[in-house]
Amino acid sequence: MLLASLNPSAVAAGHDLADAVRIGGVSLSRSDLVGAATSVAERVGGARRIAVLATPTATTVLAIAGCLIAGVPVVPVPADVGEAERRHILSDSGAQAWLGELPEQTEGLPHVPVRLHARSWHRYAEPSPDAIAMVMYTSGTTGPPKGVLISRRAIATDVDALAAAWAWTPDDTLVHGLPLFHVHGLILGLLGSLRIGNRLVHTGKPSPAAYAEAAGSLYFGVPTVWSRIAGDLDAALALSSARLLVSGSAPLPVPVFDRLVQLTGHAPVERYGSTESLITLSTLADGERRPGWVGLPLAGVQTRLTGEDGAAVPHDGESIGRLEVRGPMLFDGYLNLPEATAAALGQDGWYRTGDVAVVDSGGMHRIVGRESVDLIKSGGYRVGAGEIETALLGHEGVAEVAVVGVPDDDLGQRIVAFVVGSAEPEVLIEFVAGQLSAHKRPREVRIVDALPRNAMGKVMKKELTQGD
């Protein structure tokens, strides 16, 4: 059963939990979740696809759980999405109604409310593991967002692999304040908890104070969250009683990693994945956690590095290659886009992630970044932007940084660093030249007030290169 902790038989046998989910000022017991979500299932059963405005509320939790109980694919829609993007998501997905909360513009779809206090104890047969659980839309950085088809089997397999990697059990209290329309917050945070049976505390906004107050054993956060906690002594000390801190969705700066170790006593677990692949790599609860490295393949996952000529790239911890992955948690394709699906998956079943990485002799992976913006070809060298960013963050005058390659008539691409901080550009260029090979130094440093980021805290590098 995908949502194993919501098995009506287990709840009826006395395995209830009074505060299984706390979100938006509401506490839901396990029996609340079963009864109310089954009531939702009765109202949407038989639908082709249902749109859910993915706000951090009990209504959203019950809407998503109800659809999964009924076997109806969910289309999570970000609450802050623009009008044009929302219209595209709804029309492309073929969603037949809004379930739960409504946006200001409904685009003409009917509304099915979620009744928090309604209860049903109807028993539904478990849908096929191969059935689509949700259609999750990508960020659309290279065109309109694509609908990623994610099966029930993919979610269950991924959560189970993470449970083994992180020693994640029903005894944990998971705390996070991440959006419920991305893999990190929705599939790992919410559905992972409903499958494993641990308590879930969603803090709304992921502030240091809210994380500290929640008193969890397992915490999920993006680097921006961890950076703020590392800068808040009281919050960091409060998290020292936790069991595991997990960072993902973007690279965790090494100085933040080191500061968390110093203040909390915990080396964060880092992991890697995407909407299309879910999570495929992670460091382990009982293994090495190396700053800047995202770990080993999860159970059932294979990876490979290939060069521009398609040949295998050596696992020497230095050579950069295109990362491809294969495993049971991969997506089933892009909705309505067979050509894009074939380009991403191919006939061999390997997903072309679009990321570049290095792998050491022990199988530990380090993500260099996106091939399109983080692999810089300058003066005949292949340079990873992440290595330069890490070096710059080691300077006390740098708070944030993003490194990109911009077109250059002489070098092919010129290394440019966008820095939030107080240091002088010339000083930073020389600093990197002293830390790394000379050809990896930025040719230009631009001081900016802020870096453009998306909802998950990822820097939108293409915005930085516009105009060059």
**Rounded-to-integer distance, Cα 185 and Cα 202, Å:** 9
Helix H or strand E segment including 151: strand 147-151
Q: Could you tell me the domains of the chain?
A: 4-193 (3.40.50.12780), 375-465 (3.30.300.30)
**Rounded-to-integer distance, Cα 114 and Cα 110, Å:** 13
pTM metric for this prediction: 0.86
- The pLDDT value recorded for residue 10 is 63
**What length is written for the chain?**
468
Cβ-based burial of 420 (10 A; exposed 0-12, middle 13-18, buried ≥19): middle
- The pLDDT value recorded for residue 456 is 57
Q: Which letter, b or e, does each residue of 228-258 get, where b requires 16 or more Cβ atoms within 10 Å of its Cβ?
A: bbbebeebbebbeebbbbbbbbbbbbbbbbe
Strand partners, 147: 137
- The pLDDT value recorded for residue 142 is 57
- Looking at this protein, which amino acid is placed at residue 347? Q
Closest listed residue to residue 326, CA positions, set 140, 157, 127: 157
- The pLDDT value recorded for residue 194 is 96
Question: Which residues, given as ranges, of the chain have pLDDT below 70?
Answer: 10-14, 139-143, 455-457, 467-468
Sign of CA dihedral 29, 31, 34, 39: negative
Q: Is 50 helix (H, G, I), strand (E, B) or coil?
A: strand
Q: Is 352 helix (H, G, I), strand (E, B) or coil?
A: strand
- The pLDDT value recorded for residue 467 is 63
Q: Which letter, b or e, does each residue of 179-207 get, where b requires 16 or more Cβ atoms within 10 Å of its Cβ?
A: bbbbbbbbbbbbbbbbbbbbbbbbbeebb
- The pLDDT value recorded for residue 302 is 97
- The pLDDT value recorded for residue 457 is 67
**Rounded-to-integer distance, Cα 70 and Cα 51, Å:** 14
**Rounded-to-integer distance, Cα 377 and Cα 386, Å:** 14
* Cβ–Cβ < 8 Å for 429, 445: yes
